[in-house]
Amino acid sequence: MRRLLSLLILLFALPAAAGLFDSRPSASLGGINNSADFLPVREAFHLSLVESTPEQITLRFVAAEGYYLYRHRFQFKTGDAEVALGEARIPAGQQKTDDYFGEVEVYYGVLDIELPVQNPKRRPFTLQVGYQGCADKGLCYPPETESFSIAGDGAAPDNAATSDNNDRSLSWRAMALFFLAGLGLTFTPCVLPMLPILSGVVLRGQTGGMRSFLLSLAYVLPMATGFAVLGALMGVFGAELNLQARLQSPWVLVPFALFFVLFALAMFGLFELRLPQVLSSRLDRLAGNAKGGSFLGAAVLGTVSSLLVS
């Protein structure tokens, strides 16, 4: 009876967690290819510098049809403490009941924003503009920041918004912080399953000594390289392929939910997952003939592990 009750709870909880009973509009609107209709954030919301003087900067947002910007998400900052910005002059927007923020003021189409500037010494500075918007079909973009380089006389040398070069450029400090963050993750409980993998599969009983350390590196470094390459590809092509919208589609969420239900049934003992006898016997023979502690084997295992986890 307890197993049956647990299964019923699982069957109702997983679809709810997958958003099947959510009243918010779906990112795909029920179509398998509709997720491709969402534009990258820089195409959905185009920001440009219209005019720049020592006393005022005029910015222009152009939202694509079916996309809107939030008034309360606008932010304006400078990279120089001696340059002060006044209160932005933003025209009245349109009231909207939003699925994410409730009653908000939003902007469709073209929006011009006038930003007073106090720069007595006529110093060049960087203007950072933060904004966030959504699509009427249900996709909400994460907060975005663009930067302008403003000359001392108020002109903008590049005459266009840079792609956050100052914020996104790699530095030794950023690399060190990423390294420390990854090092901290190695002390979390989710890493504990790696210990029997290293000792049983990679080292094969050859614990201790410099060879064991090198074998561990042969396993970890290819896995870390695989994650780095996959992460870089996601960063480069993620916006262009609209992966955020695609992964929010029920065509992705429902199969994954069904897989979780299937594997949960196996864990409850309803059935047992095992390889066919032909495959399992061959793998056993290969494992028995393989020499423990192979550098090539550890490297291949690390690479394959990164692909499987991703």
Give the model's pLDDT for residue 89.
93
Residues 153 and 216 in one domain: no
User: Which residues share a beta bridge with 85?
Assistant: 117
CA distance 227 to 231: 6
Enter the pTM of the model. Answer: 0.47
Is position 100 within any domain? Answer: yes
Residues 44 and 74 in one domain: yes
Is position 101 within any domain? Answer: yes
Residues 127 and 162 in one domain: yes
* Averaged pLDDT for residues 281-291: 64
Domain stops at, among 109, 142, 168: 168
Mean pLDDT taken over the chain: 76
Is position 11 within any domain? Answer: no
Residues 142 and 181 in one domain: no
Domain stops at, among 150, 168, 186: 168
* Distance (Å) of CA 207 to CA 20, 107, 197, 226, 236: 49, 63, 13, 26, 40
Residues 128 and 209 in one domain: no
Residues 261 and 181 in one domain: yes
Domain stops at, among 135, 168, 201: 168
Residues 103 and 151 in one domain: yes
Is position 26 within any domain? Answer: no
Residues 135 and 247 in one domain: no
Going by pLDDT thresholds of 50, 70 and 90, the confidence category of residue 156 is: low
Is position 54 within any domain? Answer: yes
Is position 7 within any domain? Answer: no
Give the model's pLDDT for residue 132.
93
Would the pLDDT of 60 be above 70?
Answer: yes
Residues 187 and 294 in one domain: yes
Structure token pair of residue 260: 């979780």
The residue ranking higher by pLDDT, 31 or 195, is 195
Share of the chain above pLDDT 70, in %: 72
Is position 292 within any domain? Answer: yes
* CATH number of the domain bearing residue 60: 2.60.40.1250
> CB–CB of 245/38 below 8 Å?
yes
Give the model's pLDDT for residue 227.
84
Going by pLDDT thresholds of 50, 70 and 90, the confidence category of residue 302 is: confident
User: Which residues share a beta bridge with 77?
Assistant: 128
Would the pLDDT of 204 be above 70?
Answer: no
Give the model's pLDDT for residue 110.
94
Q: How many separate domains does the chain show?
A: 2
Residues 82 and 193 in one domain: no
Residues 150 and 188 in one domain: no
* Averaged pLDDT for residues 191-218: 74
Residues 256 and 233 in one domain: yes
Tell me which residue range forms the domain holding 155: 39-168
Is position 82 within any domain? Answer: yes
CA distance 50 to 224: 45
